[in-house]
C-alpha cells in the first residue's frame, strides 16, 4: 500500500502522526504544505481536506483520512504490530487520556492559526502570544507530570516499556514547545520520557529537522 502524507515540518499534529507511522515501520510519500505561506488553503489542497489543515493521509484508492488522532487509531487497527496501545482496556484508556491531554487540551489552543487570530483580533504581539502558549502548556504539564510520576504504569515511556500513542503526542509537543523555549526542569518525568524517546530513530525521524521541507 502506498501512503501519501500531507504534512508540514513544524506541524506538531503532523509530527505525532509521523512518529506513529515510523513506529509501525511504514514508509510514505511526503507532500509538504507551507503553513506560514498559507499553502494549506490552496484550492487543490482544500479538495483533499476541506478544513485546510495538515496532516492528511491519502490511501492507494484515493480515500482521504484526516485528523491526526483518528489517523493514528486507523493505523493501529490496520497495522496492529507493534501496537500503539496496551492490550488491557483500562491501560488503553490511560494511554489515550495522556495523549489527549497533549493533543486535545494543549495543541488546538497553540497552533499557528490560533496564534495568528490572537494577533488579528486582540492585537497580541509576539510576547503576548508566547505568554498564551506558555500558559496552556504549563496548565496541562503540571497535572500530566503528576499523573505520570504517581502511576506505577509509567515506565521508560508514558506506559510501560513500549513507546506508543501518548509518546507520539508527547514528543511532538516538546518539539512544538521550542516556540517559547519552554523549560522542562519542573517536569522531571516528562523530561525523562522525552530523553528516552529522543534516543529512538522512529521519533528522531519524526522531528521537524528530519523532514524534507525543513529549513
Please calculate the CA angle 211-73-213 and round it to the nearest 5 degrees. Answer: 10
CB of 209 to its own copies, least distance (A): 26
Residue 89 sits in the site that holds its own copies (CB under 8 A): yes
| Interface map 55-84 toward its own copies (x if CB under 8 A) | ----x---x-xxx-xxx-xx--xx------
Helix 12-23 to helix 165-176 angle (10° resolution) is 140
Which of these segments, 1-9, 130-138, 171-179, 182-190, binds its own copies (CB under 8 A)? 130-138
Nearest-angstrom CA–CA distance, 81 and 195: 24
- If one asks whether residue 132 binds its own copies (CB under 8 A), the answer comes out as yes
Dist CA 169 CA 106 (whole Å): 11
Tell me the HSE value of 10 on the side-chain side, using a 13 A CA sphere: 13
Q: How far is CA 205 from the centre of its chain?
A: 13
Task: Choose the binding region for its own copies from 2-10, 95-103, 174-182, 196-204 (rule: CB under 8 A).
Answer: 95-103
Whether the Cβ atoms of residue 12 and residue 168 lie closer than 8 Å to each other: no
CB of 18 to its own copies, least distance (A): 17
Paired residues of 4 in beta bridges: 29, 58
Contact between 186 and its own copies per CB under 8 A: no
Shortest Cβ distance from residue 211 to its own copies (Å)?
A: 23
Residues in a beta bridge with 98: none
The region that residue 182 occupies, defined by phi over 0 for left and psi between -120 and 50 for alpha, beta otherwise, is: beta
DSSP secondary structure code for residue 64 in this structure: E
Nearest CB to its own copies, comparing residues 44 and 199: 44
Judged by beta carbon, residue 160 or residue 200, the one nearer its own copies is 160
DSSP state of 42: S
Shorter beta-carbon distance to its own copies: residue 91 or 155: 91
Map the footprint of its own copies across residues 31-60, applying CB under 8 A: 49-53, 59
135 contacts its own copies (rule: CB under 8 A):
yes
Q: Closest CB to its own copies among 132 and 203? A: 132
Rg (CA), the chain: 17
Residue ranges binding its own copies (CB under 8 A)? 49-53, 59, 63, 65-67, 69-71, 73-74, 77-78, 89-90, 92-93, 96-97, 99-101, 103-105, 108-109, 114, 117-118, 121-122, 124, 128, 131-132, 135, 140, 142-144, 146-147
Amino acid at each position: 500500500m502506498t501512503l501519501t502524507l500531507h504534512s508540514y515540518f513544524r506541524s506538531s499534529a503532523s509530527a505525532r502522526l509521523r512518529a506513529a507511522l515510523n513506529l509501525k515501520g511504514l514508509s510514505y510519500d511526503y507532500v509538504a504544505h507551507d503553513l506560514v505561506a498559507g499553502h494549506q488553503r490552496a484550492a487543490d489542497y482544500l479538495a483533499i481536506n476541506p478544513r485546510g489543515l495538515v496532516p492528511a493521509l491519502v490511501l492507494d484508492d484515493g480515500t482521504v483520512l484526516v485528523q491526526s488522532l483518528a489517523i493514528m487509531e486507523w493505523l493501529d487497527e490496520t497495522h496492529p504490530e507493534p501496537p500503539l496501545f496496551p492490550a488491557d482496556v483500562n491501560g488503553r484508556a490511560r494511554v489515550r487520556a495522556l495523549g489527549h491531554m497533549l493533543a486535545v487540551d494543549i495543541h488546538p489552543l497553540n497552533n499557528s492559526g490560533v496564534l495568528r487570530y490572537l494577533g488579528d483580533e486582540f492585537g497580541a504581539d509576539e510576547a503576548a502570544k508566547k505568554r498564551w502558549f506558555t500558559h496552556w502548556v504549563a496548565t496541562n504539564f503540571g497535572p500530566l507530570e503528576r499523573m505520570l510520576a504517581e502511576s506505577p504504569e509509567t515506565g521508560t515511556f508514558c506506559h510501560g516499556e513500549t513507546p506508543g500513542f501518548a509518546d507520539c503526542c508527547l514528543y511532538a509537543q516538546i518539539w512544538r514547545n521550542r516556540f517559547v523555549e519552554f523549560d522542562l526542569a519542573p517536569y522531571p518525568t516528562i523530561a525523562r520520557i522525552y530523553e528516552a524517546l529522543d534516543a529512538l530513530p522512529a521519533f528522531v525521524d519524526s522531528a521537524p529537522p528530519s523532514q524534507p521541507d525543513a529549513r
